[in-house]
Structure formats: structure tokens, C-alpha cells
Amino acid sequence: MLNSKSYNSVIHYLKNYDGEFITVLDKIIKIAVNKFKITEELREEIIEDDDIYQIIITDINFNFWLKVSNGSLSYKHGINRNASFRIRYTKEILVKILKREMYGTDAFMKGIIKADGDLSQGLRFIKLFRLFIKYLNNGFEKEDI
């Protein structure tokens, strides 16, 4: 499916193949969540967190949520009405953030992405998102997809 094992190739694939965007993004998220489950140092990073983060990609109707509780991370499709933090992206903005062409905090400050929740939840979401990106940059393989 991909021509290269690099993170940038995977993100390039996401950007250029609309038809499979949701499928590939879903697999990427599952890989990262599984990495949290099996890596002690990643679990320790979220051990004190207890939040539900709702992510909405507005232009492709892909909604999912992540639940962080006592060092455990789970991922589900759909809307969670109990989410303590919600963030809305477009596909284009999410890809730019993943490609490191834009920082999520800058996009938020400029009004490009929208978030609902308090500052502490937002900071915990940023920490979780950065851990995802760090893992994907350092350990993503074509075979994972």
C-alpha cells in the first residue's frame, strides 16, 4: 500500500488519497494506542490523567474519541457525549499538523481549529498528541499498516 517505511510517506499517503484516508488514519491511531498499551514508559506519561478526548474531522465526517484513565488508553469511533475535551480539525489541517508544517497550538490560537474544554484538559491533550507524533516519527513501519 505504501512506497516507503517512513512516517512522512505515510502522512503523504494520507494527504493524497482521500478514499482511504479514514482507513489509514484509523490504523495509525490503533497502532499508537496499542503502543501505549505495551510500553510502560508511555503508560507512565498518562498515569495520572482521566479524560475523554473527542476528535472531530469536520470535512470528512470522521469522529472518534480517546479515553485516558489510570495509564490506560482506549480508542472508539463515533461521538462520546461525556467527552471532557473536544477538538475539531479539517483533514487538511490535521495532515499539516502531522507533517509538522503547522503546530496545533498555533492553529488554535489563530482560530483555525476549535476546541471545547478547560485549559488543563487542553494541555493534557497536547501532551498525548505529542506522544502520538513522537512514537509515529520514531517507530512507524509500512508493515504496521
Task: Give the residue among 144, 123, 143, 126 at the shortest CA–CA distance from 134.
Answer: 126
Tell me the C-alpha distance between 61 and 59, whole Å. Answer: 6
pLDDT per position as a tens digit, 41-99:
888 888 888 999 999 999 988 899 999 998 889 999 999 999 999 999 999 999 888 88
- Return the domain boundaries, the chain: 7-134
- CATH architecture assignment, domain 7-134: 2-Layer Sandwich (3.30)
Q: Please give the backbone phi and psi of residue 53, each rounded to the nearest 5 degrees, phi first.
A: -110, 120
pLDDT per position as a tens digit, 89-125:
999 999 888 888 898 889 999 999 999 998 889 888 9
